[in-house]
Amino acid sequence: MEDIRVQVHTCFHCGNTGLLKYIGKTVWKNEVLDRDEEGNLFTVLPLEDKIWHIFECPVCNSPVIISEYIEYIQYSECEYRPAYPMRTTEYPTIAISADGVPEEIYSAFESAVKTRGIDHAICLLSLRRVLEMICKDKGETKGKLAEKVNALVDKKILPPMIGDACWIIREMGNAGAHADNINVYASDIEQVIAFVSAIIDYLYSLPHRVEKMKKRIEKREVD
């Protein structure tokens, strides 16, 4: 993989995409160790590494943490090589993975999250729009947002508890739209982002992950 320090990253506090200032890293290693004749530890076999890289966004001065995960697989009898590198934005998290999520819903959610540090009203409105898109994707196009969500609860596509979370997202979105005289707190925004990501996870990511793991286990049983 290319050197992470000179690559372009997105700051999900403010939406800035560009070079972020590199601050440093912490490293965790899982390895099989042994001691030589003098009693010093040495690595017999590397198993996996995780590195957390800390950056500072030059636009909003907030910290961004990106992790790199590497697994070592056996290449020849006595040689192990790194494989399956994975990069994850750990903080601020956008809370969902793109796997299994319809592209336009994922990108609308991602854009909404990017505005959380810039404009609370726009962020709430955009999150409400994501909810509208989810209803449409699940076949509900008629009536107000509340009616569409209720229809999804009636059809048991959404559990009733998530129907309540939708009520909050709708109300907060309306407050954003009408610039009501209510104070919107950053912690409110974080909660609404968490609710929308829970809905996306429940409807799209979770079934996708369950299906994938099921296939993996079935394959193991056959092997």
List interacting residues with Zn ion (CB under 5 A): 11, 13-14, 16, 57, 59-60
Instruction: For the CB of residue 9, give the shortest distance to Zn ion in the complex, in Å.
Output: 10
Cα-Cα end-to-end distance for the chain: 32
Q: Helices H, strands E: what count in the chain?
A: 6, 6
Q: Which is nearer to Zn ion, 60 or 198 (CB)?
A: 60
Instruction: For the CB of residue 123, give the shortest distance to Zn ion in the complex, in Å.
Output: 14
Instruction: For the CB of residue 191, give the shortest distance to Zn ion in the complex, in Å.
Output: 21
Q: Among residues 26, 27, 24, 30, which one has the least CA distance to residue 5?
A: 24
Cβ-based neighbour number of residue 222 at 10 Å: 5
Q: Which is nearer to Zn ion, 47 or 122 (CB)?
A: 122
Q: Which is nearer to Zn ion, 4 or 60 (CB)?
A: 60
Q: Which is nearer to Zn ion, 64 or 162 (CB)?
A: 64
| C-alpha dist (Å) from residue 136 to 43, 92, 103, 144, 222 | 54, 29, 14, 12, 40
The Cα 19–Cα 10 span in angstroms is 9
Instruction: For the CB of residue 56, give the shortest distance to Zn ion in the complex, in Å.
Output: 9
Instruction: For the CB of residue 115, give the shortest distance to Zn ion in the complex, in Å.
Output: 12
DSSP SS3 for 145: helix
Q: Which is nearer to Zn ion, 21 or 214 (CB)?
A: 21
Give how far the C-alpha of residue 191 lies from the chain's centroid of Cα atoms, to the nearest Å. 15
